[in-house]
Chains A and B, each alone.
Chain A
Amino acid sequence: MGIISRGFGGRRRESVPGLPPGQYLTHDFPVLSAGPTPRIPLDRWRFTVTTETGDQKSWNWTEFQALPADDVTVDIHCVTKWSKLGTTWRGVSLDTLLADVESAADYTMVHSFGGYTTNVPMEDLLDGKAWVAYKFDGEDLEPEHGGPARLLIPHLYFWKSAKWVNGVQLMTEDDPGFWEAAGYHMYGDPWREQRYQGD
């Protein structure tokens, strides 16, 4: 019986090569949320980059929509163990949003409407690795999935892809965000199973 079970397990992993350790494949899009879903009118939406010296650069929705955007297809991995492969998004690269920002910061805190935060190293936001996404699967991003816009940083566990994102604070030292302060890993690499502190 054990031999048969190992055989099935082996075949399942072979058929899904993009799955990090400990993850299972899902075809729907589970909604996880740590609080009420904020409804942000587009005329009140604003995204702000704040440097370690307090300088700010921000965009309203109209200005943000005028920025060059990327269409990306990526795999996403939630720390609660579901993964979804080949998801399609449209968003503005953080390379664009941070292009003219004067900073020596190595760390960032991503902020959201509703008070959620998550920390991400600066280098993980740059070089085509992260976007502020506003379309999913060709449609406007629904509030339940983080609309009007969420961070998309697919190489880290999905709690780092903050829903309802409204800004990035650049920092010279690393600080834990909402889940990191409550026991989750400071970095969150799904390929190294960095789920909890100490993993």
Chain B
Amino acid sequence: MTAPGDRAAALDGNAMAGDLREIFAVDVTSARFMCAGCTHTDAVATLMLWHQAPGLVARCPNCDDVVMRVVRAPDRVYLDLRGSVRLEVPLEGS
């Protein structure tokens, strides 16, 4: 029940790089997520990002389920990963 044009407003996961860099020492946008809804796996950079909201909402490009949520308070950042089965982070130099 989603019109095709409705998905056009979404950025992709690359736009989360700055927020995620504050939490992780690695560039998480190059890590691979596994969607808890459909087990689709790809780079975090490929997630569809909804940013005109009270937080960042990153949805699976395969099933639209929410994979990650980032909420910024003045002195804290909340990262909700319940929509991710796992993150696969490549190690430097391996």
Contact = CB atoms under 8 A, between A and B. Distances in A.
A104 B2 CA distance: 37
B49 to A, nearest CB: 11
Interface residues of B, number: 25
Interface in A40-71: 40-41, 44
Given A35-B66, A39-B3, A183 B53 contact: no
B6 interface: yes
Contacts of B55: 34, 179, 182-184
B52 A183 contact: no
Contact of A36 (B7, B54, B73, B82): B7
Interface string B56-80: 0101000011100111010010101
A73 interface: no
B1 interface: yes
Contact of B50 (A34, A78, A113, A184): A34
Contacts of B69: 181-182
Contacts of A38: 1-2
Given A33-B53, A196-B73, A197-B78, 12 more contacts: A34-B54, A36-B10, A36-B64, A37-B2, A38-B1, A40-B1, A79-B54, A113-B1, A179-B71, A182-B71, A182-B80, A184-B71
